Structure 1
Amino acid sequence: MIAAVYIRKSREDKNKPSHRLTVQREQLPAYALAQGWQVEIYDDGHASAARGKVEELHERARLESDVRSGKINLILVIELSRLSRDDSLQDYVSWLYLCSQHGVKLATPSRQLDPSQHSDWMLLLMEGGFSSVEMKVLQARMAEGRAEAYRAGKWLSGNPPMPYKYDRGAGGLIVDPDQMPTFRKMMRLAELYPASQVADRVGIPSVTVRRAISDDRLLMYQGARRDPDSGATIDGQWPAVIDHLQAERIRRNRGSRRKAPRRQYAAMLSNLDILTCGYCGHSYRAWKNGRTRVDGTRLDYYGCRHKDKSDACQSRMIPTHILEERVLTNLFGLLSKAAELQRAWEARQDSDDTPGKLADIDREIEKCHTKKQRLVEAVADGLLSPADVRQKRNEIDNTIGTLNQKRAGLLSAQAIAPDWDALKITRQAFDHLYQAEQREVIASLIAQIRIFPTYALITYRFPRNENGDNIARIHLPERQKPAGPRQVYKVKKQ
């Protein structure tokens, strides 16, 4: 018989002397050899098996692989909780299923249990439940301890900011004399200059300066912190390196900085993720034209982003005002018929029986989940063997998967009701909006604009006719190349 000796200890078990790694490494292999078993060691050392941390258990992953390949007959641990410390029992039960499927027994120095036996399965579930409760209690106590230490002003963990360092002997933060000159210079400059200039003068990243002059960090430099619950100031167990007067001067200088101007986009349709090249599928962007025409005006353009590459796209450049006017004319022409579109859409939905089909599928899925719950009860009562349970569970899971696929297909085919209130905006009201507000309106009504040489296809987020079609085609003016280096677009007069 090949016995896998699994060794692990977490920091939560510091009050259990029997769980010391030296004890496990000495006693478990000796016990296995005394039983006449062949020994294979799997040692994860100091590591946690709590939920979300099992990816760090590399030796346990190797053990799982060997169990699946049939190399292991028995797993020996100092305590069954060494395999899993998941407070939700999901990981622990998955290990029980794995061992049951491959005929692997679980053992401690005091007993052996076979997960494929009904009575042993029940004992293993009970022991896992006790371990889960113990883990929840430990986590609650640790959270209380961290909160109490925080309120006491202790430094909990992590790398402290400049100019502090952690002293193991003192068990807290102390001032690093090597960092103090740089820190003092940074604080003096922060009273006069913005963070970017302070970073350049001191020679440190600007993000470090911005963090250093934040409200929470300035409070920490005064030897205090703020209670997240009550907002009260807590005295920290570390020395202050600035006073409240200097902190206030830094705040005033920080607040007096000139605010960044409101962002102005190059064009109305740019950066909305709706303009797409009909040639190559890349997105379109706005191109700023540096040349001025004879009449003093300047034409900006929309063009494919792939024109920046060496193998540039052959699509055309379109003046921004031409494309925007054509799109808006088509859009507001549709919006003028919004009431008719709404009535036609609602009439089509009255004959749709998709909600009834979805309700039937939901009832079938609920029945399947009820059957799965009954399987768990049957296993607990010893009425079914693990093999029968696995087979029936797989059948139920396959049925649920098929039902979910049908449900997803119905949902994808089901039409979503448009925001009819948003379709009531007029062109006159639109023209009086700010640019950012106009862009929001366009993004809410148009899903995509594909641009081709002589036309563009607009995909709306609402049906544009009684048949439910949402794609419109608009004509683009032809391009002429006169004698000269510049391209001229002929715009027909209305």
Structure 2
Amino acid sequence: MSTEDQVNVFEGSLDSQKYRISEFVQYKNRQQADWGNIVEFYVEEGVSAGTTNRPVYQKLMSDVRKGKVNLILVSDLTRLSRNLMDFCSLINELEKHHASYLSMKEQFDTSTPIGRMLVYIIIILGQFEREQTSERVAVNCHSRALRGLVNGGPAPMGYDKHPDKKGLLVVNEAEAQRVQKIFQIFLDEGSRAKAVAKLNELGIRPKRTSTKQKENKNSIWNYQSLGSLIENIAYIGKREVNKVYKDEDPSHLKPWQKYQIVPAAWPAILDEKIFFDAQSLLEEASLRERTRMSKTEKRIFLLTSILTCGITGIPLVGQAGHGSSGTIHRYYHYSRRPKDLKVVRPRLNADELEEKVISELRSALVTQGYFDDLEKTLKSQSDSNTKGGAAEFDRAQKELKDIQNRITSIWTNQSRMQLSEDALKLASDELNRLAKQKQDLEKYLSTLDPKASDPFAFKEQTLFVENQIRWCMQGWAKATPAMRKRLLRRTIKEIVVTQTELLITFWTNSEDRDFSLKVEPQGENSNNKSNIISFGCRSRPSSNTNQRRRATSSGTVPDSAAEAAGENLKCAVGENQNSSIRSSGNDKIGRGART
């Protein structure tokens, strides 16, 4: 479904498409025994098929690569793609993995030249329709903008939406006085940071526009929100057209895409001199910041974007600070302050933590039998999960079949009987309830894997991890800091630091890794754990008292952080971190896997 409105329509909705697909599969199975079974419904709500950058579409293609899906069945070809180049790439990908597609509406024989030609024509027409609609909407919005009207969005502080005329703003006198006072405070204080502190001290609050903001009655100003207000040209009765193309070369843009400033359809509430004085102050501050940054040494933190706190689940990012003696300290800490947390993790020394991770990678390559034991542990863990998951998978499948039969029965009876309006409403409510149950059950089934373990898959996964670590270490010595960070991201999925452990999670196949790095990075709470191998380490207290004292005095590495950087290692298997295989020596890495 391309829009939210289409999703919410009962007739012709997603449930209707699912019903038609189910009936089509049953019909095909009656014609030809064992024609096929529905593995999963891949549903995208409110997302256009004009791009492949869709999470559900990427999940579908990932399942195709894994061999879980060998036929993509759609109700309409344009539901799959509305871009010719994307569709050609899809066809090549399906052929590469011995899969195919089928549209219930356009059942062309794509094994013949004429069939493929007709399919491409339909895709081109779908692309033409999408681009024409997009251009028509863009031209209409541009025409309204040139007349000084707004095309949606919340009204800025100082204005309200006109109750009758869409696109017009009316002055809110009380808020307009606050806007004038905010500009004056900013000019008097001379910087955004000082102005933010002054505004919050005086109790002047930002305008709450979204539902979430309205629920938070204690909202305060910050650096970004004040900057957005100061830069808003609407306060002097002007309207920016195509602001998104402000920095683009106009010669490369279409007429309705060019950036302009036009008179607005609402009155100004601020003197132009005050407004442009504020812009000059902002530009001076920006210039000073750019000059300072250009003279500052660029610091790259290797573990940023893959390091997570195991206590709170919040990412840890690299930061730097100057000590009283002028020494620069590099450390990892929370990217945002945890709320309602009594004990906050102290800072972790960046140099020590990064060196510990690199030493673990080097040790993995020189420890004899390390990857052989890893493969055995992977297989053992997978066999244990499969035995317990097969019975649950059968139970969930049976429940799903019962729900589908109830939906089919209600749908059939509704079409055959003359029902009253109240009866139709009851039937519609029951169908919606069953559809919700069915959707939840399908999502749950997608997380289960009742198939028997493939021994070759464990060998491939283990070999992939070994090759990635070896490739990372071979290029490490000559790599730049930025390149080292990329090497680690392509080898390690996530590092979780707890009070006593350092858990390193590796990628085990290139498809999921490349998709995650390009489209949507997966966090610690990702549901797909089948492609992960995790190693853990448990530390012993450092014997070097001077080093411990130095680290504590600098405020970068506390006792818990020093423990997390220890040498004795163990491996967590599954969710039970006590199930482990210990190494025979203190300096060797334990072997194991978590799936």
Same fold? TM cut 0.5: no
Which protein has the bigger strand share?
1
Q: Which has the larger radius of gyration?
A: 1
